[in-house]
Amino acid sequence: MREAFSNALVRLALADPKVLLLTGDHGYALFDEFRKRCPDQYINAGIAEQNMVGMAAGLARVGFRPFVYGLAAFVPIRTIEQIKLDIAHDDLPVVLLGDGAGFVYSHLGTSHQSTEDIACTRAIPGLEILSPADRFEMTASMDRAYAANGPVYLRMGKSDRGDVHAGPVGALQSGKLIQVRGGRGDRPGLIATGSMVRAALDVAQPLDLAVWSAPVLKPLSADDVCAAARATTGLVTLEEHSVLGGLGAAVSEITSEHHPVRVLRIGVPDRFSAHCGTHAYLLREHGLDTDSVRPRISAFCTAIAPGAGVAASA
C-alpha cells in the first residue's frame, strides 16, 4: 500500500507542478522516487509539524496543492489547532497524510501510537477523512484527495496486510461503502475501515457474513449504512481506532437517527496500552486480533438471531 501511495504522489506531481510534498523529517526511503523525479516540489520542513501545516496553508493560498506528510501521532494530532484554524476554517485544499495510524509504531509507545485521530478530525467542519484498506483503495483515495476543493485527512494504517480487492475500485464516491463480500441476510454485516477490513474478511468467511469497506469516513453515506443495516440483522464495525468517535460512532449516529438497529463496535478500548511490543502483540492486548474478534462476533450473531429475543445493548 505504501508503494501505491508513493506511485500516486509521483504521478500527481509530474502531472501538476503545483503539487508540493511537505514532510516533517520523515519518510526518506518512501520518497526517494519523488525527490529524484520532482526535486523542486519537495520541502523538508524539519521536526516542526505545526509550522509545516501553517506553511502548507500559506502555499495553498497562493495556488499550490500541498500534500503534508507526517506520522499520524503528529499529523493530525500534534497539529490539530493549525489544521482547524489555518486550513479547515478557510476551506483550503491541503491534503494531510497521517502515516502509521493505530498501533503501527508499536515499539515507540503511546507517544507514537494514534488511536484518536479519526475522532479528533471528524469534529472539524469541512475536513474530509479517507481511510484506505489496500493499494487499490489507496490509489483511489489519492485521486479523490487531489480532486477535492477543500481539506482532506488521509489516514494510513498497517500497509502490509494484503489486498481486499481483486483490482482497481474506480473513483471513490462521497461516503459510499464498498461491499467486498456477500453474506447471509439473516446474520449481521461487518463494516470495517483501513487495516481492519482484512481482519473482517478473515472473520466473515466461516460465518458467511457480508463485509463492507468504508474508505471515506467523512462524509459517510447514511443511505449506504442504512442499506447495509436493512440487508442484515445488525451491524458490526471494526477499526484500529478508539471505540469513541470513530467509524463505530459514525455508524451508530446514522442508524440511531435513520434506521435503529443493533450495532457492535469493535475497536480500541478507552485506555492506553499497558505495554510496548509488536503490532500483533498490541492488537491482542486490545482485543483486535482475529482470535479475539471472532468469538465476539459469533456471540453477537447468536444474540440477535431471529427468535433470540431482546438482548442487552452491545
Q: Which CATH architecture has domain 2-156?
A: 3-Layer(aba) Sandwich (3.40)
CATH topology of domain 178-303: Rossmann fold (3.40.50)
Q: Which helix (H) or strand (E) holds 71?
A: strand 65-71
Residue tagged 522516487 (cell numbers): 33
Q: In this predicted structure, what is the pLDDT of residue 134? A: 97
- In whole angstroms, what separates CA 32 from the centre of its chain? 25
Domain ranges of the chain: 2-156, 178-303
Q: In this predicted structure, what is the pLDDT of residue 25? A: 87
Residues of the chain with pLDDT under 70: 27, 307-314
Q: pLDDT for 86-136, tens place per residue?
A: 999 999 999 999 999 999 999 999 999 999 999 999 999 999 999 999 999
Per DSSP bridges, beta strands 128-130 and 178-181 are unpaired
Q: In this predicted structure, what is the pLDDT of residue 307? A: 67
Listed as own residue / partner, the contacts of 172-175 with beta carbons closer than 8 Å and 24 or more positions apart are 172/130, 172/137, 172/140, 172/141, 172/143, 172/144, 172/215, 172/216, 173/216, 173/221, 174/216, 174/219, 174/221, 175/216, 175/218, 175/219, 175/220, 175/221, 175/222, 175/224
